[in-house]
A and B are shown apart, each in its own frame.
Chain A
Amino acid sequence: MSASRILTVLALGVIIAISLTTFWDLARQSSGRTLTIYGYSAMEEPLKNEVIPAFQEWYRQTHGEEVEIVTSFAGSGHIFNQIRAGAPAQVAIFATEIEPTKLMEDGLITTDWRTFPDNGTFALTVAVILTRDGNPQNIKSFDDLGNNGVDVLIPDPTTSGGAQWAILALYGSAFLNDTGIPSEGGTEPAAKLLKRVINNASSLPESARKALTQFGLGYGDALLTYENDALVDIAKGLDYEIIMPQSTISIEPKVVIIDANVGEEDAALVGEFMDFLWGAEAQEAMAKHHFRVVDQTVFQRHAADFQEVASSFTIDDLGGWDEASVQVIEGAWREAQRD
C-alpha cells in the first residue's frame, strides 16, 4: 500500500471512530431524567454557572436521582422562533412578554405565567447607558444619545428583547414625566428622540449580548443595554462607565412553562425547577450575577452593588405590552427607521 493510501485509510478510520462514539454518547444521553431550558442571552451565565448546578445538587439530595439539564441561549426572538417551530423547550425565559403571549395564542403555553409569583418575574433589571471610561461624550440622559456625533449601539428589536426594552426606555423617558404620567407634549418628543437615536446607530446586533460583545471590541461610544449586562463587563474589569438616567424602565423578564413539551412524567420536575427559581439559593445566585432580585431580603444584601434609580416606570405606564409593542416598537421605531 502506498503512503497516501495508508493515510487515507487512517483518516477514514479516525472519522468513523469519532462518528460511532458520538452516536453512542448521544444514544446514552437520552436515557434518564432531562429538563430542557431555553433562555434569552443574559440568562446564560447565572443559569449555567450557578442556578442549574445548584438545582441539580438539590434534586440529587431530595430525590436521590440525577437530572440532566439541556440548555440553549440566544436572543429572545430567536428562541421564540425556535420554540414555535417545535424546539423541545420545557421551560423558557424571555426578556419580554411579547413572545410568551404569542406562544399562548399558538397553544404551546397553556399555564398563564401571571399566575406564578411576581407575575412570572423572578429577577429584574433596568435599562442603562454604558459609555467608555470617563464618559468622553458627556452623556447624562437617554436624550443625550441623540446628540450629534454620538455613535450608539442598540440591538435589533426584531430579534432582541433587550432592544425592545431599550426602545421602550428611550420612548418612555421622553413620553412620561417624572411622576410616570404622559407629559403634555404627547408622543411627538418621544418619536423625535427615537429618530435622533436611530440616526446615530451604527449597528443593530441581533441580541443584547452580541451588542455588548461588539462594544467590547471597540465599536460605538455608547451602548443602550441591560444594567445586569453592563455590570457583568464592569465586574470583568473593563473600563466602562454606567450612566443611570434620571428616569428609566424597570425590566421584567418572564419565565414560562411550554406546556406542549411537558409530558405527564416531567410535570413535577418542571414545577420543582420553577419553585427553585424563587428560592433563596437561586435568588442569591441571580443577585450575584447583577440582577435586582424579587426576594427583598436577598436584594438588600446586594443593594450596595446597584446604583440608585431616581424614578422608574414600567411597561404598564406605557399601556402594557399589547399597546406598547404596537405603538412604540412596530409603530414609532419602524417609522423612525424608515424616514
Chain B
Amino acid sequence: MARYALMTSGIGFLILLIALPLTAIFTQAYQGGMAAFWEAVSSPEAVFSLRYTLTLAAATTAINGVMGTLVAYVLARYDFRGKSIIDSLVDLPIAIPASVTGFTLLLLYGPVGTIGGPLSDAGIRIMFSFPGILVAHLFMTFPYVVRAVGPVLQDSDRGEEEAAQMLGASGFGVFRHVTFPAIQSALIVGSIFTFARSLGEFGATIMVSGNLALRTQTAPLFIFSEFNAGNIEAASAMSVVLVLISFVLFFGLKFATGKLTLGRAPQ
C-alpha cells in the first residue's frame, strides 16, 4: 500500500508540475490546427531562430566539452594552492542570475568596456553577434561537463594511467586509450546537458544578442518576441518544437548510454 501511495504522490506531483503546463503549450500551439502550426514554425524568422539556436548549442557543447574535460582533469589530477576556490568557481554560473551574466558581458565587451573598448576601436564587435552570444552560452553552461566528468576522473584509478605511461604510452596515448574510455559516458551526459541548457538559454542571451530577427535571434528570443507582440500561436508553436527537441535529447541520452546512471549529472 505504501508503495502505491508513494508512487501516486510522486508521479502525480511530476504530472501537475511539469506535464500539465507542457500539455497546455501543446494545446495552445495546435489551437489553429496543423496548418496554422506549420505556418508559425516555417516563417523565415522561425526557421532561422531554430537553426541559429542549434548552431549555438553545437558550438557551445563542442567548446565546453573540451574545456570542461580539461578543467575536470586538472581539478582531479593536480593539487595546488587555491584549488577549492577554483573548484567552487565552476558552479557559480548555476547560481548567478542570467541577466547579471548578460549585462556583465555587455559592459566588459561593449564599446566602453575593458576588453570591448580596444576591440571596438579596431572595428571588431563581439556583442550583438555570434561570438558574443557564444561567450554567454559558454559561461552559462560551463559547469555541466566539469561536474559530469569530474567525479568519474576522481573515482577512476590513477594507477592505470601510470601503468600505461610506464609501458611507454605517450601523454596523448594515455588519454586516448585509458582516460577517455573511462569518462566517455560521463562526457556524453555532460554534453547533452550542456546542449539542452544552451538550447533554452534566455536571460543572458536577451541582453547580449540584440534580438535582431534573422541575424541574432535565438529560438527562445523568438518565443519572447512573439509573445510580447501578442502572437501567442507562434510563440507556442516554437515552444513545442523546443520541448520536443529537448525531450528527444534526454530520451536519446537514456538510449545511447544504456546502463549509465543519470545520478552523475548535475541537476
Which A residues lie at the B interface, using CB under 8 A? 4, 7-8, 11, 15-16, 18-19, 21-23, 25-26, 29, 36, 41, 44-45, 70-74, 82, 85-88, 207, 209-210, 212-213, 216-217, 232-233
Q: 7 A-B contacts, Cβ less than 8 Å apart?
A: A7-B252, A7-B256, A8-B256, A26-B130, A72-B211, A209-B228, A210-B228
A200 shortest CB reach to chain B, Å: 23
How far is B116's CA from A18's CA once the two chains are assembled, in angstroms?
Answer: 30
* Chain B contacts with A in 203-235, Cβ cutoff 8 A: 210-215, 225, 227-230, 232
B228 touching A87 by the CB < 8 A rule? no
Nearest to A30 among chain B residues (CB) is: B215
Partner of A73, one of B111, B120, B229, B232: B229
A19 touching B55 by the CB < 8 A rule? yes
B58 touching A86 by the CB < 8 A rule? no
How far is B226's CA from A74's CA once the two chains are assembled, in angstroms?
Answer: 11
B56 shortest CB reach to chain A, Å: 9
Chain B residues with Cβ below 8 Å from A85 are 106-107, 110-111, 127
Partner of B211, one of A21, A74, A209, A233: A74
Chain A residues with Cβ below 8 Å from B52 are 22
B228 touching A213 by the CB < 8 A rule? yes
A206 shortest CB reach to chain B, Å: 8
Chain A residues with Cβ below 8 Å from B130 are 26
User: Would A207 and B106 be within 8 Å (CB), given that A15-B54, A22-B51, A23-B55 are in contact?
Assistant: no
Nearest to A3 among chain B residues (CB) is: B255
B229 touching A41 by the CB < 8 A rule? yes
B interface bracket (residues with beta carbon within 8 Å of A)? 20 to 34
Partner of A213, one of B51, B232, B252: B232
Chain B residues with Cβ below 8 Å from A233 are 230
Which B residues lie at the A interface, using CB under 8 A? 48, 51-52, 54-55, 58-59, 106-107, 110-111, 116, 120, 125, 127-128, 130, 210-215, 225, 227-230, 232, 252, 255-256, 258
B51 touching A11 by the CB < 8 A rule? no
Chain B residues with Cβ below 8 Å from A72 are 210-213
Nearest to B228 among chain A residues (CB) is: A210
User: Would A19 and B54 be within 8 Å (CB), given that A4-B258, A73-B225, A74-B228 are in contact?
Assistant: yes
How far is B52's CA from A19's CA once the two chains are assembled, in angstroms?
Answer: 8
Chain B residues with Cβ below 8 Å from A8 are 256
User: Would A70 and B214 be within 8 Å (CB), given that A19-B59, A209-B228, A213-B230 are in contact?
Assistant: yes
A18 touching B252 by the CB < 8 A rule? no
B228 touching A4 by the CB < 8 A rule? no
Partner of B55, one of A4, A18, A41, A73: A18
Which of B52, B54, B228, B232 has most A Cβ within 10 Å? Answer: B228
Nearest to A212 among chain B residues (CB) is: B230
Nearest 10 A-B pairs (CB), nearest first?
A19-B55, A22-B55, A86-B111, A85-B110, A87-B210, A210-B228, A22-B51, A213-B230, A15-B58, A4-B256
A209 touching B51 by the CB < 8 A rule? no
Main secondary structure of the interface of A (DSSP, over half): helix
Nearest to A83 among chain B residues (CB) is: B210
Chain B residues with Cβ below 8 Å from A213 are 227-230, 232
Known contacts A4-B258, A19-B55, A213-B232; can you find 19 more A-B pairs with CB under 8 A?
A8-B256, A18-B51, A22-B52, A22-B54, A29-B215, A36-B212, A44-B229, A70-B213, A70-B214, A71-B213, A85-B107, A85-B127, A86-B110, A207-B228, A210-B227, A210-B228, A213-B227, A216-B230, A217-B232
B54 touching A18 by the CB < 8 A rule? yes
User: Would A86 and B116 be within 8 Å (CB), given that A73-B225, A209-B228, A212-B230 are in contact?
Assistant: yes
How far is B109's CA from A319's CA once the two chains are assembled, in angstroms?
Answer: 38
User: Would A88 and B213 be within 8 Å (CB), given that A4-B258, A41-B229 are in contact?
Assistant: no
How far is B209's CA from A70's CA once the two chains are assembled, in angstroms?
Answer: 13
Chain B residues with Cβ below 8 Å from A21 are 51
How far is B256's CA from A313's CA once the two chains are assembled, in angstroms?
Answer: 67
How far is B116's CA from A217's CA once the two chains are assembled, in angstroms?
Answer: 41
How far is B107's CA from A26's CA once the two chains are assembled, in angstroms?
Answer: 25
How far is B134's CA from A48's CA once the two chains are assembled, in angstroms?
Answer: 28
How far is B51's CA from A72's CA once the two chains are assembled, in angstroms?
Answer: 18
How far is B127's CA from A292's CA once the two chains are assembled, in angstroms?
Answer: 37
